[in-house]
Chain A
Amino acid sequence: MAKHGIRVTVNGTAHEAEVESRLLLVHLLRERLRLTGTHIGCDTTHCGACTVLLDGHPVKSCTVLAVQADGRDVTTVEGLEQDGKLHAIQDGFIQEHGLQCGFCTPGMLMTSCALLKSNPSPSEAEIRAAISGNLCRCTGYVNIVKSVQYAAERLR
């Protein structure tokens, strides 16, 4: 089983790696690049804890091969902060208590971040639909929605 040389840009930095075909993107991020902000939850494409942006679109990184990301751009939760300043969506989750245990939070942040880029003024229903592939086992959805609304206002 041949290894593949891949080049992936993660949070603006180009990385080169030799990977086995079967290496999942989430394992490349967590184990090779030591970016452990992206969580592994269900590992079966349901929970969304592993959500990252691939060329700007949220995807479940447990269901993408690392080789599929060759030549592409990945953003993880570590890439949200810029110059020591938290992204508005991160600030929103702090201000509105958008997390309890915090396990789903990285995925929620990435999905919400992509939503606000394509739809700067989402309705509550649109926010709930957008995060319907991210599960919060604390069931803290009310405050998650408020957090996204907070960020939307800040970004407008």
Chain B
Amino acid sequence: MIPAPFDYHAPKTLSEAIELLGRYGEEAKVLSGGQSLLPLMKLRLGSPGHVVDIGRIPDLEYIREEGGYLKIGGRTREAALETSDLIRSKYPILADTAAVIADPIVRNLATVGGNLAHGDPANDHPATMLALGAEVVATGPKGARTIPIGKFFTGLFSTALAPDEILTEIRIPVPPARSGGAYRKLERKVGDFATAAAAAQVTLGASGAIERAGIGLTAAGPVPIEATEAERYLLGKKGDAATVAEAARLAAASAAPTADRRGSVEYKRQMARVLTARALKKAIARAEGEA
């Protein structure tokens, strides 16, 4: 399978890339790792007239803590996230997520920014970023602006990015002490999209009660879902088995999955409940000091 013809551009700077996107507007697509875009183009589900490859722009791949945020460069490869010591030790929810995206070979090219900017509700990072309360940095002709992740996904395969903006960075507030997170995914085989998956991030107070909770669901509707009712329910409560079970029930109630080869609506909602409970249990255990 061969994509329809297109013009390829390999800008060497961010401003050159933005200029190209401005010039070609809706006709242009950004190529980051290409692991979602190229398969779509090969299947002719998309045929952009212009492809702007941001792979030759320096300084878009990094993972560092700075000014109270974990900052991830938009073009950072999933493989880098998966093997980063900082991520493994302090942000295990992100290591969990990277490790179940596609397969190890795809992760050598696939990027974190691409996973978000593609706007696919079945991708894995959106749920994680919702749970973490992340922001994305969109850089366009007028400079950079930050978009809270809750406002980023506007519809199926649609985001708040303007046609001439590039997702250049993801910012995650550095979690306070006694925080933990986890991502749990059910997939038919390595490389498949999630049948259901859940991300949970919690912070415990001095008494052991939950002070902050973030829960995101993958493949649970036309956009990635933040389970806000379940989050609110958890506040001020100890994370015991009954509390986790009730939060998981509330999260599953907010899921609106569609039936496909991976299962019926009822099955997927049940799996959303089970996976939320597992992610939450692990998140609480990690907040209490477990690896």
Q: Interface on A for B, CB 8 Å cutoff?
A: 1-2, 4, 20-22, 24, 27, 43-46, 48, 51, 54, 57-60, 62-65, 67-68, 70, 111, 129-130, 132-134
- Cβ contacts under 8 Å, A59 to chain B: 105, 108-109
Which candidate, B34-42, B59-67, B140-148, B274-282, is the interface stretch facing chain A?
B34-42
Closest CB in chain A relative to B43 CB, distance in Å? 8
Assembled-state Cα–Cα distance A130/B107 (Å): 11
Could you say which of B1, B7, B55, B105 contacts A68, with CB atoms under 8 Å apart?
B55
Contact present for A63 and B38 (CB under 8 Å): yes
Assembled-state Cα–Cα distance A67/B83 (Å): 28
Number of A-B contacts (CB under 8 A): 86
Assembled-state Cα–Cα distance A129/B107 (Å): 13
- Cβ contacts under 8 Å, A54 to chain B: 108
Closest CB in chain A relative to B27 CB, distance in Å? 13
Q: In the complex, what residue of chain A is closest to B1 when comparing beta carbons? A: A43
Could you say which of A22, A44, A129 contacts B6, with CB atoms under 8 Å apart?
A22
Closest CB in chain B relative to A22 CB, distance in Å? 5
Known: A44-B42, A57-B108, A129-B104. 11 other contacts (CB 8 A): A1-B5, A2-B7, A22-B6, A44-B1, A44-B43, A59-B108, A59-B109, A62-B42, A63-B39, A63-B106, A133-B102
Could you say which of A1, A21, A64, A132 contacts B104, with CB atoms under 8 Å apart?
A132
Assembled-state Cα–Cα distance A68/B55 (Å): 8
Closest CB in chain B relative to A141 CB, distance in Å? 12
Contact present for A65 and B38 (CB under 8 Å): yes
- Cβ contacts under 8 Å, A57 to chain B: 79, 108
- Cβ contacts under 8 Å, A130 to chain B: 104
By size class, the interface of chain B is 20 to 34
Q: Interface on B for A, CB 8 Å cutoff?
A: 1-8, 10, 31, 34-35, 38-39, 41-43, 51, 53, 55, 79, 102-106, 108-109, 190-191
8 contacts between A and B (CB under 8 A): A20-B5, A27-B2, A43-B42, A44-B39, A48-B103, A132-B104, A132-B190, A133-B104
The answer to whether A68 and B5 touch (CB under 8 A), given A45-B39, A58-B105, A60-B106, is: no
Identify which of B6, B8, B38, B109 gathers the most chain A CB atoms within 10 Å of its CB.
Answer: B8
- Cβ contacts under 8 Å, B79 to chain A: 57
- Cβ contacts under 8 Å, A70 to chain B: 10
Assembled-state Cα–Cα distance A46/B34 (Å): 14
Assembled-state Cα–Cα distance A22/B102 (Å): 23
Contact present for B105 and A134 (CB under 8 Å): yes
Q: Is the interface of B mostly helix, strand, loop or mixed?
A: loop
Q: Is the interface of A mostly helix, strand, loop or mixed?
A: mixed
- Cβ contacts under 8 Å, B10 to chain A: 67, 70
Assembled-state Cα–Cα distance A20/B31 (Å): 16
- Cβ contacts under 8 Å, B43 to chain A: 44
Could you say which of B6, B102, B108 contacts A21, with CB atoms under 8 Å apart?
B6
The answer to whether A65 and B104 touch (CB under 8 A), given A21-B5, A24-B2, is: no
Contact present for B5 and A133 (CB under 8 Å): no
Could you say which of A4, A22, A48, A68 contacts B2, with CB atoms under 8 Å apart?
A22
- Cβ contacts under 8 Å, A65 to chain B: 8, 31, 34, 38, 53
Closest CB in chain B relative to A74 CB, distance in Å? 13
Assembled-state Cα–Cα distance A57/B45 (Å): 28
Closest CB in chain B relative to A93 CB, distance in Å? 18
Q: In the complex, what residue of chain B is closest to A50 when comparing beta carbons? A: B105
Assembled-state Cα–Cα distance A2/B109 (Å): 25
Could you say which of A21, A44, A68 contacts B34, with CB atoms under 8 Å apart?
A68
- Cβ contacts under 8 Å, B4 to chain A: 22
The answer to whether A133 and B105 touch (CB under 8 A), given A63-B34, A68-B55, is: yes
Contact present for A21 and B105 (CB under 8 Å): no
Assembled-state Cα–Cα distance A1/B5 (Å): 7
Q: In the complex, what residue of chain B is closest to A70 when comparing beta carbons? A: B10
Assembled-state Cα–Cα distance A80/B35 (Å): 26
